[in-house]
Structure 1
Amino acid sequence: MQPLYDIESKERRDYKTSLNEIKTLLSLAFDNNRPKEQLVLEEVYNYVYERIGIIQDANNKNEVEELKALINKYMEFDYETFFNLIIELSNNCCVEDSPTCGDCPIRNYCEQYRTKKVMEQKNSDNPLLIDLFSGAGGMSLGFKHAGFNIALANDVEKCCIDTYTHNHPEVPIESVVLDDIKNLLTYAEQLLPNKEIDLIIGGPPCQGFSNANRQRLIDDPRNKLYKHFVEFVNLIKPNFFVMENVRGMQSISDQIIEDFEQLGYNVHCEILNAADFGVPQNRERIIFIGNLIGVDSKQIFSEIRQKAKEIDTHVLKDALYGLRELKASTIKNSTELDTEKSGRKIDKNNYYGKENEYINLINNSKKSKFVFNHKARYNNDRDIEIFGRLNQGDKSDDPKIADIMPYKNRNHIFKDKYFKLQNDKFSKTITAHMKFDCNMYIHPTQARGLTPREAARVQSFPDIYFFKGPYTKTYMQVGNSVPPLMGRGIAKVIKEYIDKFKEDKSLNEKSSVGV
């Protein structure tokens, strides 16, 4: 991890944001009580340099003074108290083998912690993957939970890279690349470790796919990105690849399979539903799996489906469990404003230790004392009234809202423009459209749309996963993601094949040497 603050950097906004996030976490962790003992500033400088990595050189007084000035200017939190809070918390949470490290609210900002995680991954024998078009990292997370390590991740959205970097401290920051995949192809090999890459995963953007004629889809320039995915697979030649996309891509699946088969891969694709993997939403996606190890990829799908039958089904109320009640914001252009009424970017988790089965599942048995991104968006009075009148399962053509429905003359087109989700059923598919409005994702019992955290829960992201960037872009990141639980279900089967292949290969090599 690069220091949060680089004296040469012009990105003061990112620096200020990170400092304020740390401040909020610390304030909540200590219930706004300051530590009794205050350390001298020299000790603070050295600690910040060695542990947290906020400054590059503890002996550079100009750098320290500029840091101090920025904190005092932006944070309304005096410098000494700020770093003493960090010290007190990190001494308990970021030290080696600390039993409380899982609860540490600032560990992902901590230089020492991130360095430790990078070294752990470097020394691990887990299979390695590359994640292309990674977005916020949902598929990566699922594969990580199944025992994979991440060698390289790439996306073109800065907010996605910021989210990915923050939530994957085990991946060196230089290995999470903000760039066009076309450019990355020219230098990717320089970024990779001297280890075999076992797998490439990714979901090329899919704006051009629909049910239109096949040839037009192939020629659509927006669909060239899957070709770059193919080029990347050809460059690295991993033993496996997994490519995910909207089901509309099925219309050109024969062409895509042919492209990979020309590289020597055994390829098969099927439509999978995230709901079959314990995700509380109907989310159908086409999945392509290919391998170079001589396995029938159709058999891999058969095993994925078989293992999915062992997973319990969950519904919307399982995902919304324990998140505090909020009201829609009524203040325009206030997406960064935190309030008790409409929610906060960072807040305390009042249900810590009271998690239900689903929350434990998505959290991978870890707990979080904090809730991130649980903020209700702005709605005008008319929409709030509509939300309140509708019952669960009602939509735009419901007579209860006919008198105030703004699209009533086009109900045949906009009948789903408003939809109130149902507690005891799957959610409808979470999409990036939520960045514009959440009228199709009305909370089942509250007169507002889902918050980014609620949408993330429905997508099966763990509670400790903090989405960075502007408020509306958090919806985009969540909506475009592969649900981690779905990724985990696919990954477990593929890992078994990779492990078996490596074991057989090792035995054959030993046998050859013996002969």
Structure 2
Amino acid sequence: MSAQYLSVKEASEILNCSEQYVRKLLRYGDISGERISSRWIVAAESVDEYRSKEEDTSRFVRDHARRSFSKPSLKALSFFSGCMGLDLGLEKEGIKVILACEIDSAARKTIETNRPDIALIGDIRDYSATAIREKAGLSSEEEIDVIVGGPPCQAFSSAGKRQGFNDERGNVFLTFIDLIVELKPRFAVIENVRGLLSAPLKHRPHEMRGNNYPSLSQDEQRGGALLFITRKLKEAGYSVSFNLYNAANFGSPQQRERVVIACSRDGEKLPYLTPTHSEKGLYGLPHWRTLRDALAGLPDKHQFIKFPEKRIRYYKLLKPGQCWRDLPVELHQEALGASYHAGGGKTGFYRRLAWDKPAPTLVTHPAMPATDLAHPEENRPLSIEEYKRIQEFPDDWVIAGSLLDQYRQVGNAVPCSLGKAIARMLLNHLKGETPTIYPDFPYSRYHKTDDVSWTIETLGSLEPSVKQLSLNLV
């Protein structure tokens, strides 16, 4: 396939399907692409890979029970595990994962290769709480210390239609909450995108809003989805605290912002995570780790996809930390093409990473035009080995599947440092230790993202509304 990027129409012709189905594949991450302004562009190699991919028995991993007879003192069940970035962070602090739940075939192979002794299950909707205990090798009386999971985030992402719980993936989120309530772990931790803070319980298309339409109902108000989730957990007796965290504040060499919801069965509210780093050395903390720190000592053997030759021409004119705006002015429109007239800052076009800063948020494909992740000096995207270092996976952690599968898994992962910070917070709570608090610490770029400020902003007070939110799925 000679073209690097395809239109949705071209992809539909290659795959012999409708354009609508191609857009579905893009939204679900089955093929790689990116929305630029109002149109999608599709990575040609991912279409070719999707078309040619047949059932490969070497990649098929069956669900199985835990294979180890020993049981750790602190046991965790992991859902929507991916390639286990969050789980590795927990393990480094002594909380051992004994069951993983994942449906992606490449990620399942990754889990099986690196952690063959833990239980592995597939679609969360196919398992009851009793069956999950059986797979994990736990009796009905045995304690589950922690349940962790990052349900699919596309349903709440600001990049899509934000269907929330009306989206199939949003419904999986609700299944996860129901399982937490039924399995009754001592702690539950839920990780998700920033969009969850503002997602409504029920989405109304923007073209159906305004003076000619009824006012938004309570279900359609901002924050309704998170309010519904937290109320379900509180009704089950769990305390709930949450905040939006930049992983760089916890030692990750990457600026990646995620909502972390922490719940405790004892009803005592858990503290926010304790930062270990800060951008400017606030409170005497070490400065953020940089890309140079992350890649130090990395063997000079890299696997990476290639930029089109046309794009390399412009990269040769850019230095570390620069992007298209640093090209000669007369080349701006030529370099960006039709995207030149699109809105937004477009800082992801022709973006070389800086050595002396953390990496930006890793994406699932490092060579899409609007979110380029180019090496600071070499004329190529980041390699999968560099991706792993930035997400803090051990160099010997095997990521299974094709190169695009590997990029997708690592790009979607939770940085290990964030997992470690979560584990430390839980362990300190179990020990009864008073957490270190840094007043007014900027956990992320945004304000009023902690549960207290968010609740006041959403409801007008800390008291929950008397009227329970309804859940109308369509």
**Pairwise TM-score range, normalised by the shorter structure:** 0.5 to 0.7
Larger Rg: 1
Higher helix proportion (structure 1 or 2) = 1
Q: CA offset at residue 255 of structure 1?
A: 2.2
Q: Does 1:276 align with 2:249?
A: yes
Q: Does 1:164 align with 2:92?
A: no
- Whether contact under 8 Å (2:89, 2:419) holds in the other structure is yes
TM-score (norm 1): 0.60
Partner residue, 2:238: 265
Partner residue, 1:188: 132
Show CA shifts across 1:309-352 (max 9, x none): 75663101111222355xxxxxxxxxxxxxxxxx5xxxxxxxxx
Q: Hey, what's the Cα distance between the residues in 2 that align with 1:399 and 1:437?
A: 15
Q: Secondary structure of 2:361's partner?
A: coil
Return the match for 1:465 from 362, 375, 397: 397
400-409 or 211-220: which moved more?
211-220
CA spacing shift, 1:422–1:307, aligned 2, 3 Å:
closer
Q: Hey, what's the Cα distance between the residues in 2 that align with 1:166 and 1:206?
A: 26
Show CA shifts across 1:152-183 (max 9, x none): 110110111111222224x33xx122x21101
Equivalent residue letter for 1:290: C
- Whether contact under 8 Å (2:333, 2:340) holds in the other structure is no
- Whether contact under 8 Å (2:145, 2:186) holds in the other structure is yes
Q: CA offset at residue 148 of structure 1?
A: 1.0
Return the match for 2:288 from 313, 322, 329: 313
Q: CA offset at residue 465 of structure 1?
A: 1.2
Equivalent residue letter for 2:136: L
Return the match for 2:381 from 426, 449, 458: 449
| Unaligned 5+ runs, structure 2 | 1-54, 61-65, 199-222, 434-474
Equivalent residue letter for 2:424: K
CA spacing shift, 1:389–1:290, aligned 2, 3 Å:
same
Q: CA offset at residue 221 of structure 1?
A: 3.7
Q: Hey, what's the Cα distance between the residues in 1 that align with 2:74 and 2:102?
A: 22
Q: Hey, what's the Cα distance between the residues in 1 that align with 2:327 and 2:277?
A: 44
- Whether contact under 8 Å (1:129, 1:148) holds in the other structure is yes
- Whether contact under 8 Å (1:435, 1:475) holds in the other structure is no
Partner residue, 1:217: 164
Show CA shifts across 1:103-140 (max 9, x none): xxxxxxxxxxx98xx45xx153x210100000000111
Partner residue, 1:106: none
Return the match for 1:201 from 148, 156, 167: 148
Return the match for 1:176 from 120, 132, 148: 120
Partner residue, 1:393: 321
Equivalent residue letter for 1:454: E
Equivalent residue letter for 2:348: D
Q: Secondary structure of 1:258's partner?
A: helix
Show CA shifts across 1:393-412 (max 9, x none): 22234433437514265254
Partner residue, 1:405: 335
Superposed, which structure 2 residues align to 1:107-256 within 5 Å? Answer: 118=68, 122-124=70-72, 126-169=73-116, 171-172=117-118, 175-177=119-121, 179-185=122-128, 187-194=131-138, 195-210=142-157, 217-251=164-198, 252=223, 253-256=226-229
Equivalent residue letter for 1:405: A
CA spacing shift, 1:438–1:411, aligned 2, 3 Å:
closer
CA spacing shift, 1:485–1:14, aligned 2, 3 Å:
same
Partner residue, 1:292: 265
Equivalent residue letter for 2:114: N
Show CA shifts across 1:73-92 (max 9, x none): xxxxxxxxxxxxxxxxxxxx
- Whether contact under 8 Å (1:239, 1:291) holds in the other structure is yes
Q: Hey, what's the Cα distance between the residues in 2 that align with 1:215 and 1:483?
A: 24
Q: Secondary structure of 1:304's partner?
A: coil
Q: Hey, what's the Cα distance between the residues in 2 that align with 1:461 and 1:233?
A: 28
- Whether contact under 8 Å (2:384, 2:406) holds in the other structure is yes
154-163 or 187-196: which moved more?
187-196
Q: CA offset at residue 193 of structure 1?
A: 2.5
CA spacing shift, 1:306–1:480, aligned 2, 3 Å:
closer
Q: CA offset at residue 200 of structure 1?
A: 0.3
| Unaligned 5+ runs, structure 1 | 1-9, 16-113, 326-342, 344-373, 502-515
Q: Hey, what's the Cα distance between the residues in 2 that align with 1:409 and 1:131?
A: 40
CA spacing shift, 1:499–1:168, aligned 2, 3 Å:
farther
Q: CA offset at residue 191 of structure 1?
A: 1.1
TM-score (norm 2): 0.64
Q: Hey, what's the Cα distance between the residues in 2 that align with 1:210 and 1:123?
A: 37
Partner residue, 1:304: 274
Q: Secondary structure of 1:269's partner?
A: strand
Q: Percent identity?
A: 28
Partner residue, 1:29: none
- What RMSD over aligned residues (CA atoms) do the two structures have, in Å? 3.1
Q: Hey, what's the Cα distance between the residues in 1 that align with 2:233 and 2:93?
A: 25
The size of the alignment, in residue pairs, is 336
CA spacing shift, 1:439–1:391, aligned 2, 3 Å:
farther
Q: Hey, what's the Cα distance between the residues in 2 that align with 1:168 and 1:215?
A: 34
Q: CA offset at residue 12 of structure 1?
A: 5.6
CA spacing shift, 1:464–1:306, aligned 2, 3 Å:
closer
Superposed, which structure 2 residues align to 1:422-501 within 5 Å? Answer: 422-434=354-366, 440-498=372-430
Show CA shifts across 1:242-271 (max 9, x none): 000011101132222112112110001101
Q: Hey, what's the Cα distance between the residues in 2 that align with 1:215 and 1:415?
A: 24
Equivalent residue letter for 2:327: P
Return the match for 1:380 from 293, 301, 308: 308
Q: Secondary structure of 1:468's partner?
A: coil
Q: CA offset at residue 213 of structure 1?
A: 12
- Whether contact under 8 Å (2:367, 2:381) holds in the other structure is no
Q: Secondary structure of 1:456's partner?
A: helix
Q: Secondary structure of 1:234's partner?
A: helix
Q: Hey, what's the Cα distance between the residues in 1 that align with 2:245 and 2:409?
A: 21
Q: Hey, what's the Cα distance between the residues in 1 that align with 2:276 and 2:396?
A: 30
Q: CA offset at residue 294 of structure 1?
A: 3.1
Q: Secondary structure of 2:169's partner?
A: helix
Q: Hey, what's the Cα distance between the residues in 2 that align with 1:420 and 1:150?
A: 37
Show CA shifts across 1:343-388 (max 9, x none): 5xxxxxxxxxxxxxxxxxxxxxxxxxxxxxx312123211222222
Q: Secondary structure of 1:264's partner?
A: coil
Equivalent residue letter for 2:399: F
Q: Hey, what's the Cα distance between the residues in 1 that align with 2:371 and 2:395?
A: 24
